[in-house]
Amino acid sequence: MTVQTVLHASEKRRVQEGKVRIEDLQPGQENSYCMCLEEWSREMKDAGDKKRYWYEEAKPKGLRVKLAVDENGAAAGMIHYMPIEQTHVKGRDLYFIYCIWVHGYKEGQGNYQKQGIGTALLEAAEQDARELGAKGIAAWGVALPFFMRASWFRKKGYTRCDRDGIGVLLWKSFSEDAVAPEWNRQKKKPRGEPGQVTVHSFVNGWCPGQNLVHERAKRAAAEIGPPVVFKEYETGKPEIFNEWHIVDALYVNGRQVRTGPPPSYDKIRRTIQKAVKRLRL
């Protein structure tokens, strides 16, 4: 079912031409969705096909995808969510929002942020989850003022229910008997091996930014060669996620590398090379 939302004049920010429609992902739009609406970006092309594979596996598990489309047919924003039981978050009878994103670059379709599109996407997802019988909906946010801000969700009526580092778990209940979700906290940490530099890459597939980190680390490890050993963990597989409780992360000899925003290839390569130099001292 397609949901259409028109933003009224009372909104502080209006979409271009005063309206936007929110619709389910349609055939032919998958490529744009899998590249987070940045199909114009060379960087996104370097992220590989992992999101496409994740999408194909997630569809039969209840994945829902909606796009915000302007009057010219350009995708200005997106949201995707699925039953929480199929995600990395502990919960039941809820939907979990993986990501909500409004295009904010001059390239491609242009900057659509701060025009009410994010609110329209969120409201459409909440309505859809209610109609599907969910008792509530959850989302993750960041405690710092950048992408997926927890403060933004709180302004939309969400309540913080858990926190792990800067990662905040929030939710909105639709039913009195709904139970708040919880993070699955990390079980163990990767460790280096004697005589080598071990690069552990944990990748889920749903986030192209993290897929990009994985591909860059994999290429850097291959180009540097011995004594670098690259180990890949596909955390979309339950047996792998349940062993570690890690979704997306990069470690070099047991030291976690910051991956948000995605570091450049050169920076990742330098990080690995420094570990090689320490090994040879």
Helices (H) and strands (E) in the chain, counts: 8, 13
Distances (CA, A) of 47 to 43, 190, 244, 268: 7, 23, 23, 15
What is the DSSP code (8-state) at residue 175?
A: S
Q: What is the pLDDT of residue 245?
A: 98
100 neighbors 119 (Cβ within 8 angstroms): no
Q: Is the pLDDT of residue 12 over 60?
A: no
Q: Per-residue pLDDT for 164 more than 50?
A: yes
Contact (CB, 8 A) for 153 and 170: yes
Residues for the chain: how many in total? Answer: 281
pLDDT single digits (tens) 88-140? 999 999 999 999 999 999 999 999 999 999 999 999 999 999 999 999 999 99
Confidence of residue 18 (pLDDT cuts 50, 70, 90): low
192 within 8 A of 208, measured Cβ to Cβ: no
CA atoms within 13 A on the CB side of 118: 21
pLDDT interval class at 16 (50, 70, 90): very low
Residues 6+ apart with CB under 8 A from 2: 21, 23, 24
Report how far residue 279's alpha carbon sits from residue 259's, in angstroms, rounded to the nearest whole number.
23
Domains of the chain: 16-183 (3.40.630.30), 197-280 (3.40.30.10)
Tell me the pLDDT tens digit for each residue of 34-84: 999 999 999 998 999 999 999 999 999 999 999 999 888 889 999 999 999
Query: Could you tell me the pLDDT band of residue 147, with boundaries at 50, 70 and 90?
Result: confident
